[in-house]
Structure 1
Amino acid sequence: MSIFLAGAGPDPEAFPGVFDAFADEVRQRAGQDQASRIAMAVFGAGVNLQDVAAAYTEPLQSRMECGIVIVPLVPGKPADPAAFDGVDGVVVGGGLTPGYWEGLHPAATAISKLVTGGVPYLGFSAGAMVAPALALIGGYQINGVEVCGEECSEGLDSVALRKGLGLVPFTVDVHAAQAGTLSRAVGAVAAGLAEWAVAIDEDTAVVVESAGDEGYKVMGTGNCWDIRGTGGATEVSVRTGD
């Protein structure tokens, strides 16, 4: 079962394929004749998280019979790892990446065990950024130099990387070409903060077949920018959908 890392938030009209593929894998995991259970982690402060979750639940429930377990992430109240027990799929939404990282960090082992055991994972934007072993959670400066717009900082000055969920071996950035965060991912590798990063465009997703795999596919209409540090140099290659 796969790990789907989408480069933007949910848009079932512009990018239905990621919902279709994830729903197919959840059905396989649960069994074709069984209703599935999906854990859905969403972050917010001072908002109704049921309303936030609707952007993710409605496209999935239109594709299959499934029960949704909302895992609320609010400042100061991290996720209970038990909330993920026995689910057939995990969805992590988009929003403030440091908030998702703080909320999910205590449940990282539980999520990793699920995905390693074959439960599909779908992360949108922030949910994609927190998925790697080494997660980029925000910031716009490296050694005092701006590497992307301050509007992409997520409340942090220096580019910050933290231990993530451990699902993929490369660091992830999102909204790459559209928000200009490609330069942040390149800068992180060039500065030695990460050895390998993949920056994902909007309407595009990276698909890893199982936790820890180094190979990946690209789906969607945009690009994925593969950035690696090799022999003191930083190499960038571009991959498009198969």
Structure 2
Amino acid sequence: MPSSGGPFLIGGGREPEQVLPTHRPFVAACGGGPIALVMVDEGGGVDVERWTAALDGAAEVRPVVLAADRPIAGDDVAGVAGVYVVAGLTPLYAELLAGWALPAGVVYAGFSAGAAVAADRAIVGGWQDAQGGAVCPDEAGEDLDPVTVVPGLGLVDFAVDVHAAQWGTLGRLVHAVEAGLVVEGWALDEGALLVDGRVIGPGAAWHVTGHAPVRRVTELSA
């Protein structure tokens, strides 16, 4: 199986100009090998067509459907070149992927929830600080009130928040760093791919540390 950089962390987005540039580098990194498309059925079914279309150019996509009583298993990703974990209720994704390790040599991509859970300390939701003050819109809380951090997949040593400009979640990441819940992190706009420290696509990424101002990073023009 091919090995490459990564993981490939995508902040969201539905428009073609957001989806294609943020997904094609991952598909290319898989070298034509099969990709496991990991989705969680939260009770309303899954949109296999949407996520397969996002992997434009992939030779083979293998849907893997998880559910509340069906976490990921090793056989789900046997023989694949890449694993693509998509969007949904982030706390549930974290629960169903808990304890799972990405096989050696397999390329990882995460979209929205899939990007958030890639961290060693994963921000899975919440919109309030310890005193009950708002740090982002409550609609971004993912059914949680306090900002909540849990063990993630450990693929990166920084936290990841998503839909930053669209959902106002940059404030949540800033709070998580200032409160010591995480050491540092990246908040990704829709249409932003973060891979190996580079930002690709039309969206921006926001780097947050405890010792420097928030830094907005965009894709550099050729």
Q: TM > 0.5 between the two? A: yes
The alignment status of 1:4 with 2:1, answered yes or no, reads: no
Match of residue 55 from structure 1: 50
- Structure 1: which amino acid aligns with 2:190? E
Give the fraction of aligned pairs with identical amino acids, expressed as a percent: 39
1:42-81 aligned within 5 A = 42-49=39-46, 52-60=47-55, 62-66=56-60, 68-81=61-74
The alignment status of 1:224 with 2:208, answered yes or no, reads: no
1:194-213 aligned within 5 A = 194-208=182-196
More strand by share: 1
Shift of 1:48: 2.5
Q: Deviations over 1:198-239 (max 9, x none)?
A: 10111111012xxxxxxx100111211110013xxx631111
- Higher mean displacement: 151-160 or 16-25: 16-25
Structure 2 gap segments, 5+ residues each: none
When the two chains are superposed, the root-mean-square deviation of aligned CA atoms in Å is 1.6
SS of residue paired to 1:41: strand
More helix by share: 1
Distance 1:132 1:105 in 2: 12
Match of residue 146 from structure 2: 158
Equivalent position to 2:24, from 17, 20, 23: 20
Contact 1:3 1:120 in 2 (8 A): yes
SS of residue paired to 1:5: strand
- Structure 1: which amino acid aligns with 2:187? A
Distance 1:81 1:153 in 2: 30
Match of residue 219 from structure 2: 241
- Structure 1: which amino acid aligns with 2:53? E
Q: TM-score, normalised by structure 1?
A: 0.84
Structure 1 gap segments, 5+ residues each: 31-35, 209-215
SS of residue paired to 1:70: strand
SS of residue paired to 2:180: coil
Match of residue 41 from structure 1: 38
Distance 1:173 1:160 in 2: 12
Q: Deviations over 1:121-149 (max 9, x none)?
A: 11110010000111000000111211011
The alignment status of 1:104 with 2:97, answered yes or no, reads: yes
Q: TM-score, normalised by structure 2?
A: 0.91
Matched positions, count: 215
